[in-house]
Amino acid sequence: MSQKTKQAVELPEPKLRFWLRMAWVVAYALMLVSMLNNLARLNTDAIAYMRVAEYWSVGNLGFAVNGYWGPLLSWLMVPFLWLGVEPLLAGKLAMLISCGVFFHGSLFLVRSVGLRLSDELIVAWVLALTIPGWMSNHVTPDLLVAG
C-alpha cells in the first residue's frame, strides 16, 4: 500500500468550516419547513403540554404545577402564548427551539471530546437531516432535555 492511500483525504479547515455552516443553514431551513408542513400533526402528550403552558401563561399554578408533566417545554411555550400565538403553533415553535438546542449541544459535545473538524461536519449533516423528521412527529421535551 502506498503512502498516498494510507493518508486520509482531509479538506482544508476553511472549507470544512464553510460546510459546517452550510449544515447549520440546512438544519434550520429543514426544521422550519418541517414545522410549517406538519402543524396539525400531534402526539397525545402535545395536548397536555399545550394545556399546561396555557395554565402557566395565565398564572393558574394549581393546575400548572403537577407531578407528571415537566415544566420545561411548557415554559418555552408561555412567551408565545403571551404574544397571542395559538397553542398549537406555540408548541411547534417550542420544538423548533428544542431542536436548535439539541443540534448545537450535540456539536458542542463532539468538539468537547476532541474529535476532528471533519467528524463534527459528519455529525452536523446527520443531525441536520434527521432532526426535522423527529420534530415533525412529536411535541416532547426529549430533545430539549438531551441537548
- Please state the domain extents for the chain: 13-36+43-146
| pLDDT tens, position by position, 96-133 | 999 999 999 999 999 999 999 999 999 999 999 999 98
pLDDT value for 111: 93
Q: Which of 9-13, 75-79, 113-117, 137-141 has the lowest mean pLDDT?
A: 9-13
Predicted TM-score (pTM) of this structure:
0.84
List Cα–Cα distances, 86 to 15, 21, 55, 116, 118, in angstroms. 42, 32, 14, 43, 41
